[in-house]
Amino acid sequence: MPDTFKAILISRDDDKKQSVAVTEMTETDLMDGDVTVAVEATTVNYKDGLAITGKAPVVRRWPLVPGIDFAGTVLSSDHDEWRKGDHVILNGWGVGETHYGAYAGRARVKGEWLVPLPDGMSAHDAMAVGTAGYTAMLSVMALERHGITPQRGPVIVTGAAGGVGSVAVAILSKLGYHVVASTGRPQEEAYLRELGAAEIIARDELTGAVKPLAKERWAGGIDAVGSTTLANVLSMTAYGGAVAACGLAGGMDLPSSVAPFILRGVSLLGIDSVMAPREIRRQAWQRIGRDLDLAKLKALSTTIGFDGIVAAATDIVDGKIRGRVVVDM
Query: Sheet of 237-245: strands edge to edge?
Result: 199-202, 179-183, 155-157, 218-223, 237-245, 267-270
pLDDT for 1: 53
Which tens digits make up the pLDDT trace of 221-269? 999 999 999 999 999 999 999 999 999 989 999 999 999 999 999 999 9
Phi, psi of 170 (to 5 degrees): -65, -45
User: For residues 266 and 152, is the Cβ–Cβ distance under 8 A?
Assistant: no
Residue range 191-213: mean pLDDT, rounded = 96
115-153: pLDDT as tens digits: 999 998 999 999 999 998 999 999 999 999 999 999 999
Asked if residue 297 has pLDDT above 90, the reply is: no
Three-state secondary-structure class, residue 235: helix
- 10 CB-side CA count, 13 A: 31
Residue 271 has pLDDT above 60, yes or no: yes
Q: What is the mean pLDDT of residues 53-74?
A: 96
- 305 contacts 327 by C-beta, under 8 angstroms: yes
Residue 320 zone, left/alpha/beta (φ > 0; ψ -120 to 50; rest): alpha
Q: What whole-number distance in Å separates Cα of residue 236 and Cα of residue 39? A: 43
Domains in the chain, start-ordered, CATH in brackets?
5-117+296-328 (3.90.180.10), 131-270 (3.40.50.720)
Q: What is the pTM of this model?
A: 0.88
Going by their DSSP bridges, the two strands 301-305 and 218-223 should be labelled as unpaired
**pLDDT at 307 > cutoff 90:** yes
**What is the three-class DSSP state of 17?**
coil
